[in-house]
């Protein structure tokens, strides 16, 4: 029960801000103090939710998925310029890399021209979003291509019908850019251990393994340089969707590669 304060008339005209209210058994507080505590509690909960969300985003970026953007048309129409994609970092480890997978890999072989050191300040907020994985890091040198040959595979361009063959099996590639040939550059390679042979879907506009056979790596990509498998187009919204690896294209590829005499040999 509210009591009269000494020295003040108890005529029922008390200031509402001074009128005590009960907040649970045995606890008395003012309505103004209760509102302040409620606001503080709400702000604390919001901060906790934001912190947990950022922590989860960072852990996802570190161990599961990572964002990248597409700067060129070498993978059209599968990926278009300025697409934002999420990459599954559980491929190639612990999950197996497969022919047809679209992979993002570090440019350790010098396929890309060197970029000048960034001088512009991107701002702390953008840097924070990049750090937790909500924005792609545009400062690093990465490429995105499709895996055509795994270690031990013999990849040849081309058969009498102009198709690429893997271990003697011709590929019908529905993901190619409309009007593009499987390859205008002839080649005959066997993929070394721990390497892959990669090509862009827009073959006429892709400086892929074919264009880098003069590099120290011979045009092959080290599996250890692969950041992961491109899994989802996340932006723009009208292109959002999952990215497939077209297993039917490679279903007939044998696990043995023919040697130069045409005899099949077990893949190393």
Say what percent of the chain tops pLDDT 90: 54
**The two three-digit tokens of residue 174, written as one number:** 């529905």
Listing DSSP states for 100-141 in one string gives T-EEEEE--S--SPPPPPP-S---HHHHHHHHHTSS--TTS-
**pLDDT tens digit sequence for 146-192:** 999 999 999 999 999 999 999 999 999 999 999 999 999 999 999 99
The confidence score (pLDDT) of residue 78 equals 97
CB contact at 8 A, 224 and 93: no
CB contact at 8 A, 97 and 145: no
Catalytic residue among 8, 61, 74, 215: 74
Supply the mean pLDDT for the chain: 80
- CA–CA dist 219, 204 (Å, integer): 17
Q: Is 74 annotated as catalytic?
A: yes
The confidence score (pLDDT) of residue 159 equals 96
Catalytic residue among 41, 44, 145, 206: 145
Q: Is 206 annotated as catalytic?
A: no
Say what percent of the chain tops pLDDT 70: 68
Helices marked H in the chain — which ranges?
31-63, 124-132, 247-250
The confidence score (pLDDT) of residue 92 equals 79
Name the nearest CA neighbour of 5 among 19, 17, 16: 19
Bridge partners of 142, per DSSP, are: 106
> Residue 100 above 90 pLDDT?
yes
Reply yes or no: is the peptide bond before residue 77 cis, omega within 30 of 0: yes
Mean pLDDT for the stretch of residues 216-229: 95
Instruction: Tally the C-alpha atoms within 13 A of residue 37's C-alpha that lie toward its C-beta.
Output: 7
- Local confidence band at 124 (pLDDT 50, 70, 90 cut-offs): low
Longest dimension (CA), the chain: 113
| Helix axes of 124-132 and 31-63: crossing angle, nearest 10 degrees | 60
> Residue 69 above 90 pLDDT?
no
3-class SS of residue 22: strand
98 burial class (0-12, 13-18, 19+ CB within 10 angstroms)?
middle
- Local confidence band at 225 (pLDDT 50, 70, 90 cut-offs): very high
Reply yes or no: is the peptide bond before residue 149 cis, omega within 30 of 0: no
Tracing tokens 């190639």 back to the chain, one arrives at: 92
- CA–CA dist 251, 256 (Å, integer): 14
β-pairing, 102-106 with 221-222? Answer: unpaired
Nearby residues of 133 by Cβ (< 8 Å), 6 or more positions away = 57, 58, 60, 61, 62, 65, 66, 67
């Amino acid at each position: 029960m509210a009591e009269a304060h000494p020295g003040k008339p108890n005529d029922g005209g008390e200031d509402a801000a001074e009128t005590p209210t009960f907040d649970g058994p045995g606890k008395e507080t003012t309505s103004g103090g209760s509102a302040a505590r409620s606001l503080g509690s709400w702000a604390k909960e919001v901060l906790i939710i934001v912190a947990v969300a950022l922590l989860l985003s960072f852990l996802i970026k570190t161990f599961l998925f990572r964002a990248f953007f597409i700067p060129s048309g070498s993978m059209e129409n599968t990926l278009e310029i300025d697409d934002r994609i999420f990459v599954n970092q559980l491929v190639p480890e612990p999950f197996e890399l497969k022919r047809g997978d679209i992979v993002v890999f570090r440019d350790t072989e010098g396929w890309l021209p060197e970029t000048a050191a960034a001088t512009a300040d991107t701002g702390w907020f953008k840097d924070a979003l990049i750090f937790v994985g909500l924005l792609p890091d545009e400062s690093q040198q990465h490429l995105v291509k499709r895996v055509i040959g795994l270690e031990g595979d013999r990849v040849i361009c081309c058969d009498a019908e102009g198709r690429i063959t893997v271990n003697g099996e011709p590929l019908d590639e529905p993901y190619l850019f409309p009007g593009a040939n499987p390859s205008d550059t002839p080649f005959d390679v066997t993929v070394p251990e721990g390497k892959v042979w990669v090509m862009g879907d827009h073959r006429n506009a892709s400086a892929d393994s074919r264009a880098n056979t003069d590099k120290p790596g011979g045009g092959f990509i080290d599996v250890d340089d692969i950041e992961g498998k491109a899994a989802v187009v996340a932006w723009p919204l009208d292109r959002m969707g999952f990215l497939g690896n077209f297993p039917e294209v490679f279903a007939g590829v044998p696990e043995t590669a023919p040697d130069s005499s045409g005899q099949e040999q077990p893949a190393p």
